[in-house]
Amino acid sequence: MFATGGEGREIALLAALHVRTRTVVTAKLFAYGVPTTLRSIAAVVLVVAPLDGLSRDLIGLAAMTDWASASCIIFEFAASSTAPNFHAEHIQRATGILGRVVALIAGGLFLLLSALGAASLPGFDGAIGRAIGAGETREHLATAALVLTIAAAIPALMLLVARDRWRKLLGAR
In 3D space, the residue among 11, 30, 28, 17 whose CA is nearest the CA of residue 162 turns out to be: 28
Contacts of 170 (CB under 8 A, 6+ apart): 14, 15, 19, 21, 24
pLDDT by residue (tens digit) across 107-154?
899 989 988 887 777 665 544 445 555 445 667 778 888 888 999 999
Once rounded to an integer, what is the mean pLDDT over residues 64-76? 84
Q: How far apart are CA 102 and CA 14, in angstroms?
A: 25
Which CA distances in Å does 12 have to 16, 78, 88, 160? 6, 20, 15, 22
**pLDDT band at 85; cut points 50, 70, 90:** low
Give me the percent of the chain exceeding a pLDDT of 90. 2
Query: What confidence score (pLDDT) does residue 109 get?
Result: 92
The β-bridge partners of 84 are 95
Mean pLDDT of 66-72: 85
- Whether the pTM exceeds 0.75: the reply is no
pLDDT for the residue numbered 166: 80
Mean of the per-residue pLDDT values of the chain? 76
Mean per-residue pLDDT for 97-110? 85
State yes or no: pLDDT of 61 exceeds 70.
Answer: yes
Residue 170 has pLDDT above 50, yes or no: yes
| Alpha helices, H only, 127-136 | 127-131
pLDDT the model gives residue 67: 85
- Kindly give, in sequence order, each residue whose CB lies less than 8 Å from that of residue 117, ignoring residues fewer than 6 positions away: 143, 144, 145, 147, 148, 151
